[in-house]
Amino acid sequence: MTSGGFEPVEVPSGAHVVVGMSGGVDSSVTAYLLKEQGCRVSGLFMVNWTEDEEGYCTAAQDFQDARSVAEELDIPLHRVDFSVEYRERVFAQFLADYAAGKTPNPDMLCNREIKFQPFRDYAQRLGADFVATGHYARIAMAADGPVLLQAADSNKDQTYFLAAVDRAQFRDVLFPLGELTKPEVRAIATRAGLPVHRKKDSTGICFIGEREFRDFLSTYLKPNPGDIVDDSGHRIGRHQGLMYYTLGQRRGLGIGGTRGGREAPWYVVAKDPEHNRLIVAQDAAHPLLMSGEIDTAPFHWIRRPDPLPEQVQARIRHRQALQACHAEPLAGGCVRVHFDAPQRAAVAGQYAVLYAGEECVGCGEIESARPLG
């Protein structure tokens, strides 16, 4: 039994598990561990993006790496194209959010709309008893169904990215890496002789790759330049479009020294879409950047505690330390999160993810924040 009174997921010997294989170390070790456990393992490589005329996407090499691992493990590898679903369910929303002045998180949508929907459905058509991925998270069973728990390695915990997935989609899902650290996973890959044991972790958004984000976005959304002003309203430069900047950003602002100004870095502290102005200041903890409360869109509960504890924890970005707070239900299913300590750069379009102990209970897209200034 896991902590919190939850039961572990029981996997019968010989169960057919379809593993989402990306060609990386984590999914490769996931497949290896399940085969060592006595499962009948199949790999499934998902193609989510095909429009890459300039060679920024690594999907072709990733597929070859996944195929090499499958050959080493002597398991079948299937390849399926979900690029249409990805464009309709993830990328279209990504563009709409940027056009609306938000900073979206496509990884949240990808997990909800692709990895645990069409991927899961396709795996079941292959006869899967379970599906598995290389996420650093844990699934356990409560009396009323599956629960999502934080990974043992808090530094790699990926429950933030899984918090928008519907609870029913976690049924018959396995996360074999949930009890391991990344160094342990690499050590397993090395001992097992997996050809990707030294492969670097992928970073960034898959459809952008290594290209400049501003160049990519400008091919889909028309730039709208405007003034950069300091927190006193003085014009000190020009921006290329509010969509290219996010709260707390320091690099890439194109602001040189100002007459009579002090030598200190500038930070984006607010956006003024009504006047198309980017507001900056030379203070990394400027009051406009710090918020004690945030309001979410209608909240997605994986499993809502009943009653909701007075004190819970939250994070507003991946790998942020859990922050003490309490959650106040609002009309329309929205939630107001009151933090014990002010939060820096709470950005509309990102997510506030709530935790009750080790359990990830759900998330809400950030709609607004109340800055201290």
Q: What is the pLDDT of residues 286-306, one digit of tens each?
A: 999 999 999 999 999 999 998
Task: Tell me the per-residue pLDDT of 310-336, one tens digit each, with 9 for 90 and over.
Answer: 999 999 999 999 999 999 999 999 999
Contacts (Cβ under 8 Å, ≥6 apart) of 23: 45, 61, 62, 63, 64, 65, 66, 69, 196, 199
Contacts (Cβ under 8 Å, ≥6 apart) of 364: 296, 297, 298, 299, 300, 334, 335, 351, 352
Let me know if 360 is a catalytic residue.
Answer: no
| pTM of this structure | 0.92
pLDDT at residue 205 in the model? 62
Choose the most confident range, by mean pLDDT, from 28-32, 116-120, 151-155: 28-32
Q: 344 near 290, Cβ under 8 Å?
A: yes
- Considering 39, 57, 110, 363, which one is annotated as catalytic? 110
Q: 230 near 280, Cβ under 8 Å?
A: yes
Q: pLDDT class for 211, splitting at 50, 70, 90?
A: low
Domains of the chain and any CATH numbers: 3-191 (3.40.50.620), 224-281 (2.30.30.280), 290-371 (2.40.30.10)
DSSP tag of 311:
S
- Considering 39, 206, 325, 360, which one is annotated as catalytic? 206
Rounded CA-CA distance 129/125 in Å is 10
Per-residue tokens: 12: 């019968």
In this predicted structure, the answer to whether residue 2 has a pLDDT above a threshold of 70 is no
Let me know if 206 is a catalytic residue.
Answer: yes
Q: 151 near 138, Cβ under 8 Å?
A: yes
Q: 115 near 168, Cβ under 8 Å?
A: no
Per-residue tokens: 24: 């990386």
- Proportion of the chain in helix, strand, coil states, percent, rounded to 5: 25, 30, 45
Provide mean pLDDT across the span 121-132: 97
Q: Which residue in 206, 255, 198 sits closest to 230, CA to CA?
A: 255
In this predicted structure, the answer to whether residue 1 has a pLDDT above a threshold of 50 is no
In this predicted structure, the answer to whether residue 269 has a pLDDT above a threshold of 70 is yes
Over pLDDT 70: what percentage of the chain?
93
Task: Tell me the per-residue pLDDT of 43-64, one tens digit each, with 9 for 90 and over.
Answer: 999 998 876 555 556 778 899 9
3-class secondary structure per residue, 268-286: EEEEECCCCEEEEECCCCC
State the sign of the Cα–Cα–Cα–Cα dihedral 167, 169, 170, 172: positive
Count the neighbouring beta carbons within 10 Å of the beta carbon of residue 80: 15
